[in-house]
Amino acid sequence: MSECNYLYGNYCAEKRVTVLSQMLDFCGIEKDRLRARWVSSAEAPEFVEEINEFIDVLKPLGPSPLKKQTSKDVA
C-alpha cells in the first residue's frame, strides 16, 4: 500500500471506496460490482489475474439494470 506513485493516493482512494461500496449497497446495487486493487505497472500477470477474477464475479451478475441505452443499441 505504501508504494503509491502519488504517495498517499491509494490510501485516500481506499477510504472512499469503503464508503462508496456501502452506498451502492444502500441504493440496492450489488457492491461486488465495485472493486479496488493495487497493482503496479510492472506487474502485468497480477493485473491479468485480478481482472480475470473480477470478470468471474461480474459475469453471473450480468449487465447492470441501470445501463443506459447507447445510440448503437437503439439503432
Partner 1 sequence: MIDIVRQKISKLLSDGSVKGVVALAMANGHVAPCLFQKEDDLEPLCLGDTKKPGDARYPLNKVLITIARQYPEDVFGVLVRGCDERGLYVLYRLNQLEPDKVMTIGIACPQELAKACECKKPYPDELVAGEKTEGITQQGVQDMEDMDLSKRFSFWKNQFSKCVKCYGCRDICPMCFCRECSLECEDIISKGELPVDIPVFHLTRAMHMTDRCIDCGLCDETCPSGIPLRLLYKKTSKIMNAEFGFTSGINKNEQSPLNLMGPAPEK
Which residues touch 8 (CB under 8 Å, ≥6 apart)?
none
Site residues (CB under 8 A) for partner 1, limited to 2-21 = 7-8, 11-12, 14-16, 18-20
Site residues (CB under 8 A) for partner 1, limited to 46-65 = 65
How is residue 27 written as a grid cell?
441504493
How is residue 75 written as a grid cell?
439503432
Q: Site for partner 1 (CB under 8 A): which residue of 3, 5, 27, 75?
A: 27
Quick check: helix, strand or coil at residue 69?
coil
Binding residues for partner 1 (CB under 8 A): 1, 7-8, 11-12, 14-16, 18-20, 22-30, 65-66, 68
